[in-house]
Each structure stands twice: as C-alpha cells, then as structure tokens.
Amino acid sequence: MSDIAGKVVVITGASSGIGEATALALAARGARVVLGARRTERLEALVDRIVDAGGEAAYLSTDVKRREDVIALVGLALGRFGKLDVLVNNAGIGPVSLFDDLRVEDWVDMIDVNVKGVLYGIAAALPIFREQGFGHFVNVLSTAGLKIVPMQGVYAGTKNAVRAISEGLR
C-alpha cells in the first residue's frame, strides 16, 4: 500500500468492522476516504478520528439497497476530491438461521445488501472508471462462500454470487 497516498477510496459499510478498519488503515497511509453506511453517527465519529489524525475523509448516509444512495456516495467522492480510484464494496449482512425457519425477509435483505449492493456499486463507479481510464473494485467476500455451513446457506449463496460477479467483471 505504499502508493496509496492521495488515492480516493469509497468504502461502503464503513461504520464498523472490516469497513471501519479499512478506512482507518487507508487514511493513515494518506488515502482520501469517502465513507458510506446507514449509521451516520458512527460515520461522523470515524471521520472525526481520521481528520483529527491528519487525514482527509467525508461521509454520506448510504443504504446500498438504494441505487441512488450509492450513486450519491460516488458523486460525493467526485465532487469533493475530483476523482475516484477505488470502490470498496464492503457492506454486508449475515443473519443466520436454518432454512426450515423460513426467515424469507432475512434472505431478501441479504440478497439486496450483499448482491444488489455490490451491483449498484459497480453501476455507479464503472462509468467513471472508464471515463477516467483507471479505477479498481474491491468486493469483500467471505470464506463462508467457499465452505458452506448449516445456518449460513443463503449468506454463502450471496457471497458466492459476489465472487462470480467479481470474476465476470474482471
């Protein structure tokens, strides 16, 4: 990551976990990060931490189930920093249950966040990457997509879908 300084990186699901850790690590190395998630109070606190440490960051309330939210997040990066180098499609959810529990609404949410959210990110950033002549996608997967366990069947399916989408995009 030695050449990350000055790069503009959008991260979805940035309010906690992998997204938060990624934002902190990249900002500490000089990347300008644009953070999206639903929990704006956490995003605001994260941006404050980054700025207090001398970094550059911005945030926008973003629900990746809403294509217009993802478009607006990418637009914030362009408006604030003039380019987009990397989009990290990190937002994800993983409620666990047996299929017999028929938690269909959880299944729908996982598909909307874990799969459609990634597709919305690609749709928002790909035209910009093509116009700029550069840009990278980082789509966060899970080992659960490779080793299927009993209570994570739908989650595994969504992560396998993202893996296939990523290969297709590559």
CATH number of the domain within which 72 lies: 3.40.50.720
Write down the pLDDT at residue 69: 98
Does residue 2 sit within a domain?
A: no
Active site residue 59: no
What's the pLDDT tens digit per position in 53-96?
999 999 999 999 999 999 999 999 999 999 999 999 999 999 99
Does residue 35 sit within a domain?
A: yes
Give the residue-averaged pLDDT of 88-111: 97
How many distinct structural domains can be found in the chain? 1
Nearest to 109 by CA among 89, 128, 125, 93: 93
Does residue 13 sit within a domain?
A: yes
Write down the pLDDT at residue 143: 87
Write down the pLDDT at residue 90: 98
Write down the pLDDT at residue 145: 76
Region of residue 102 (left: phi > 0; alpha: psi -120 to 50; beta: else): left
Give the residue-averaged pLDDT of 20-44: 98
Does residue 149 sit within a domain?
A: yes
Higher pLDDT, 149 or 105: 105
Does residue 41 sit within a domain?
A: yes
Structural domain including 87 reads 8-169
Q: Is 126 helix (H, G, I), strand (E, B) or coil?
A: helix
Q: Which of the following is catalytic: 155, 157, 161, 162? A: 155
Write down the pLDDT at residue 2: 61
Statement: residue 43 has pLDDT above 60: yes
Structure tokens given for 74: 């990418």
Give the residue-averaged pLDDT of 8-27: 98
Does residue 38 sit within a domain?
A: yes
Does residue 30 sit within a domain?
A: yes
What is the percentage of the chain residues whose pLDDT exceeds 70?
Answer: 99
Does residue 1 sit within a domain?
A: no
Residues 23 and 63: their CA atoms lie apart, in Å, by 18
Specify the pTM.
Answer: 0.96
Structure tokens given for 69: 């939210």
Residues 34 and 43: their CA atoms lie apart, in Å, by 10
Write down the pLDDT at residue 98: 94
What's the pLDDT tens digit per position in 130-167?
999 999 999 999 888 788 888 999 999 999 999 999 99
